[in-house]
Structure 1
Amino acid sequence: MNGSDYFPQRYPLDAFLMLVRTTAWELQQKVQAPDALIGMGLIAGMATACQGLFDVKLPTGQCRPTSLNLIAIAESGERKSTVDALVFAPLYEHDCRKAKAFQAALDSYQAKRELWEARGQGLRNRLAKAVSKGEATEAIQAEMAQHTTLKPTKPRLRRFMRQNITPRAIMDTLRGDGESIAITTDEGQVMFKGETMAQLGLLNKAWDGAPMLTLDRADFDNVLVMNPRVTISIMTQKQVLQAYLMKHGDIAKGSGHWARYLFGWPESMKGFRSVNTDEHVWECLPLFQARMQELLEKYEAISESGEVKREVVEFSDDAKARWFELSQQTEWMLRPGDYLNDIHDFASKIMELLGRLAAVFHCYSGEEGKVTLDTLERAFTVVQWHLEEYKRMFSPQFALSQGQVDAQAVFKYLRDSVWQGPRSDTYVPKNHVRQYGPVRDRDRLNAALRILEAQRALWVVVAPRGKQRFVRLSDWYFGGGL
């Protein structure tokens, strides 16, 4: 994973359809979290709500899930938990209601089970007595057979949101046909240091929507999973992800697991937020949440009916033509030396990701008919942003030198502590930067300053009288000219 968090592009929130776009703007204004954190949170929420109800038929004819995997990188204090709580509120509320109802059903089941077992024991006692006396047992055996059919069914807790879940628990959760869950966390350490990421093959098959998964246990309690739907949303700190990559990065990339994710590493908002003392009045977010609640209720209804049959969404003719055009362009860019050659793993999934995301946009926004060209183009804008993120994070040619890493750190220090500091200075003594800044080594600091000078971000100048050197900040560069 490269350290290139250097001027990431703004997240294309404007590409969302109206209901989600206005919600994104409202969250950005009131929460003031990084834009990609908001956008990716909304995508995860939409995918979770849609995946149990809709599949997408790609222009190639393949029928695929609308599930999506996302990893957003943001440090502590970026309001990950706030975004998570607001976007996923209907899902958490749904799970709370289900948990309470499940507990009541479980109490009833246990009482019925005890009564059933007591009656069974009574029948066994009668049978044993009849056998000991040499009496006929046919009637008792018939009663026992009938009693077996009356065994109470243990209730099942169906909830969407899962966090630190083991691979075995994933199989138990998805047991049956058409189950839908979301594995989410706003603290990536929970997932990366837990057992969830221990079986990447299982997670890959879940993303693929495998027709059947099996788990054969020693006690013959075999688990059968058919047509599962799983969305994964991870908000994590850089160090946590890097620690995981150091140990398991080659496997995650080599197995194609990372290629199934939309990655995002937005620039921090800390130090750039405005303080608003007014109480938040939400206008758009409740509409987004209401749509999610509507979709959850529809899924709950079909799930309880015992037959999960998803609607298959298709593309309009002009959207199909555009999809094939983009697919051909992607293929060309896989050639040696071309733009996608060094991230061919992600490029191999990009058209499917595009189709899934376009279908999610279409279904969540309640669009009628087939997915339009406009919706496909909107989804393409978002996927393209994530492609650039994947490239700058994982492409070998985008790896930064130590001087570039130091230049980033020095730039951020000068921006936050000098340009936007209490005195809003444009000049600062070079020794001050060395003493209080992030790079204390003289040679490394000089190398970092030379890089920033080459970018016209600053100049190292000598005072008119004396030998003291100053760092002069560029008004154009620090003032937003980029």
Structure 2
Amino acid sequence: MQANCFFLSSQHENIRVSCAPAPYSKEPKPKEKIMNTIQRNSDFPVDDMPILLKEVVRAIRAKTQAPVELIVGSCLCAMSIAAQATVVFEYRDGRRSPVSLYTIVLAESGERKTAVFNHTIKQLLEFQKRKMKEYVNQQSVYEADLQSWNAIAKSKIKQIRKNEEKGIDNTFEQERLRAHYVNKPKKPRVPKILYSDATTEAITQDLVENIGSAGLVSDEGGVIFNGRAIRNLPLYNQLWDGGSIDIERKDRRLIIDDCRFVMLALIQPIEFINYLKKHGTRALGNGFAARCLWSTATSTQGTRTKQLEVQEDNEHLTNFHKRIDELLEQTMDQSPPKVLRLSPESESILSNYQNCIEMQILCDKAKHDALPGILSKLPENAIRLAALMHYFYGFEGNEIQPICLEHMIKVVSYYYSQSEKILTLGLDSGEDDANKLYTWLTSPSSNSMGNCSNIAKSQIRRYAPYQLRNSIRLNRALKILEESGRISIMKLRNPNGSISQAINIYRN
């Protein structure tokens, strides 16, 4: 089917959207509205998602009344895990990229993270549980076949030894032994798809020995960020890239080739703050944060009302689950992935977008050290999302069309704005800002007033590093410096009667 009929933006809050070429013109009845609309106090660009995914989000929203950011993040994770081993994107130069996504959603306690999981990730768990039962039977058959194979192998080796002792030519017996080893029973692969807390060693070993496709997911993201799995961030960077990884161990060597890995953490803001305080420099500096799609859940607490008379529509959610099962079955079959590329028009759009990103890097690099890295990964995340939508919903052909890429560019732009807010406002403790401001105040190389003992606050607002020109961050940094005895703040009355502030600087 054409991609165009899958994307349809609703201009009105309460218009119900279907797969038809145009939305229904009829407004929902008043008592249906809460079930047929998607949360509008959120800035998430849900209208830029394919219609069928939008309907899934709507259905889960109706059942849970959870924030749309939680729902979309969980849906994208489930889609990515299901599809990542069965499709790949190829650039013009031949490089290939998986559709694997790393997603972090900050949500307070009580936002119904577990309820959302039960409608998205639970489907993966049920598939894994079902396949584990099959694996137990397969393992029993394998062990029996292996015992038989070993007995035959011993018999053939024994015959070769006898022939050697008697001086009989063993050419025929050796050929039979080689053929026997070619037909050695293969150990069944463990259908391990999901992890919540495991060592990186266990995850990498399972990726090599099992189906080569998995995800690290948790509706209590503190388990991930405070656990064992997240300690080797460079490894997760390599897994996101989808390249070959060579790991040397004491007892053996592991080569991870064409393995696919997804990450989803639904985490409380305070836990993420604590993680960044301890490990932020490493996580933000080595490229891990740049690969993630960040968002903060817009709280629905206090607005959730039960609508007993409303009939819930499960059709789209049921079809969503069926598609996940279908793709996971293909993953188990280990069949070669489908290859997607950009259409010529989409190539032009991507090129223009990459140029815009380079310009934005120049504008935003002073806001936070991690933002240039996040910006540089936006084009690839846009491509991954576009390829995922194209494949998961069966868009026509092997070329990603402009409408799909354009909508996904809007989606990653939203995720970037969220990461910018989280890094520059939401999660900053103020200590870094305070240290940066003090360095600027006392360094002649950073400002022309570096040798002064005092400076007007208005001068700081005008000439300080960009991120400190925000009044909230500046006042917080000044308060920290004052409390630590590095500055004092004086209030001065101007000739016109107004009050201004001056900063006394105390050098170490």
The alignment's TM-score, normalised by the length of structure 2, stands at: 0.68
Give 1:347 shift: 0.8
- Does the CA-based 8 Å contact 1:178-1:226 persist in structure 2? no
Q: What are the superposed Cα offsets for residues 342-395 of structure 1, whole Å, 9 maximum, x if unpaired?
A: 511101111111111111121112111222221112111211111011101113
Within a 5 Å distance, the mapping from 1:448-459 to structure 2 comes to: none
- Does the CA-based 8 Å contact 2:86-2:337 persist in structure 1? yes
Look up the SS of the partner of 2:342 in the other structure: coil
Within a 5 Å distance, the mapping from 1:175-324 to structure 2 comes to: 175=208, 179-210=212-243, 212-220=244-252, 222-277=253-308, 280-301=312-333, 303=334, 308-324=335-351
Look up the SS of the partner of 2:97 in the other structure: strand
Q: Which amino acid aligns with 2:191?
A: R
Q: Which amino acid aligns with 1:276?
A: Q
Within a 5 Å distance, the mapping from 1:324-403 to structure 2 comes to: 324-335=351-362, 342=369, 343-369=371-397, 370-395=399-424, 399=428
Q: 1:310 to 1:337 in 2, by over 3 A?
A: closer
- Does the CA-based 8 Å contact 1:215-1:224 persist in structure 2? yes
Q: 1:339 to 1:272 in 2, by over 3 A?
A: farther
Give 1:165 shift: 2.4
Distance in 2, Cα, partners of 1:84 & 1:373: 32
Give 1:195 shift: 1.6
Q: What are the superposed Cα offsets for residues 234-290 of structure 1, whole Å, 9 maximum, x if unpaired?
A: 111223222222221111111100100001111222221012336855232112122
Q: 1:395 to 1:110 in 2, by over 3 A?
A: same
For 2:119, the equivalent position in structure 1 comes to 86
Within a 5 Å distance, the mapping from 1:134-173 to structure 2 comes to: 151-173=184-206
Give 1:178 shift: 8.0
Look up the SS of the partner of 1:184 in the other structure: strand
Give 1:193 shift: 2.3
- Does the CA-based 8 Å contact 2:42-2:68 persist in structure 1? no
Q: 1:239 to 1:338 in 2, by over 3 A?
A: closer
Q: 1:387 to 1:114 in 2, by over 3 A?
A: same
Q: Which amino acid aligns with 2:376?
A: S
- Does the CA-based 8 Å contact 2:48-2:408 persist in structure 1? yes
- Does the CA-based 8 Å contact 1:11-1:39 persist in structure 2? no
- Does the CA-based 8 Å contact 1:333-1:341 persist in structure 2? no
- Does the CA-based 8 Å contact 1:176-1:224 persist in structure 2? no
Give 1:60 shift: 6.7
Look up the SS of the partner of 1:183 in the other structure: strand
Q: Which amino acid aligns with 1:356?
A: R
Distance in 1, Cα, partners of 2:404 & 2:212: 28
Q: 1:112 to 1:33 in 2, by over 3 A?
A: same
Give 1:32 shift: 0.5
For 1:53, the equivalent position in structure 2 comes to 86
For 1:429, the equivalent position in structure 2 comes to none
Within a 5 Å distance, the mapping from 1:113-152 to structure 2 comes to: 113-117=146-150, 151-152=184-185
Distance in 1, Cα, partners of 2:347 & 2:142: 51
Q: 1:156 to 1:401 in 2, by over 3 A?
A: closer
Look up the SS of the partner of 2:265 in the other structure: strand
Distance in 2, Cα, partners of 1:102 & 1:178: 12
Distance in 1, Cα, partners of 2:74 & 2:256: 27
Q: 1:137 to 1:178 in 2, by over 3 A?
A: same
- Does the CA-based 8 Å contact 1:99-1:157 persist in structure 2? yes
Give 1:332 shift: 1.0
Q: 1:213 to 1:271 in 2, by over 3 A?
A: same
The alignment's TM-score, normalised by the length of structure 1, stands at: 0.72
Look up the SS of the partner of 1:164 in the other structure: coil
Give 1:146 shift: 7.0
- Does the CA-based 8 Å contact 2:211-2:332 persist in structure 1? no
For 1:17, the equivalent position in structure 2 comes to 50
Look up the SS of the partner of 2:227 in the other structure: coil
Look up the SS of the partner of 2:188 in the other structure: coil
Look up the SS of the partner of 2:400 in the other structure: coil
Look up the SS of the partner of 1:204 in the other structure: helix
Give 1:135 shift: 6.3
Look up the SS of the partner of 1:395 in the other structure: helix
Q: 1:36 to 1:339 in 2, by over 3 A?
A: farther
Q: 1:58 to 1:272 in 2, by over 3 A?
A: farther
- Does the CA-based 8 Å contact 1:8-1:266 persist in structure 2? no
Distance in 2, Cα, partners of 1:88 & 1:50: 14
Give 1:124 shift: 8.1
Distance in 1, Cα, partners of 2:97 & 2:395: 19
For 2:458, the equivalent position in structure 1 comes to none
Distance in 1, Cα, partners of 2:178 & 2:406: 62
- Does the CA-based 8 Å contact 2:190-2:211 persist in structure 1? no
Instruction: Report how many residues are paired.
Output: 389
Q: Which amino acid aligns with 2:240?
A: W
Look up the SS of the partner of 1:33 in the other structure: coil
Distance in 2, Cα, partners of 1:344 & 1:10: 23
Distance in 2, Cα, partners of 1:171 & 1:337: 36
Q: 1:149 to 1:364 in 2, by over 3 A?
A: closer
Q: Which amino acid aligns with 2:396?
A: E
- Does the CA-based 8 Å contact 2:237-2:288 persist in structure 1? yes
Moved more, 190-199 or 147-156: 147-156
Q: Which amino acid aligns with 1:347?
A: L
- Does the CA-based 8 Å contact 2:247-2:255 persist in structure 1? yes
Within a 5 Å distance, the mapping from 1:68-83 to structure 2 comes to: 68-83=101-116
Q: What are the superposed Cα offsets for residues 440-482 of structure 1, whole Å, 9 maximum, x if unpaired?
A: xxxxxxx99xxxxxxxxxxxxxxxxxxxxxxxxxxxxxxxxxx
Look up the SS of the partner of 2:190 in the other structure: coil
Higher relative contact order (CA 8 A, sep 6+): 1
Look up the SS of the partner of 1:44 in the other structure: helix
Give 1:12 shift: 1.4
Moved more, 267-276 or 118-127: 118-127
Moved more, 73-82 or 331-340: 331-340
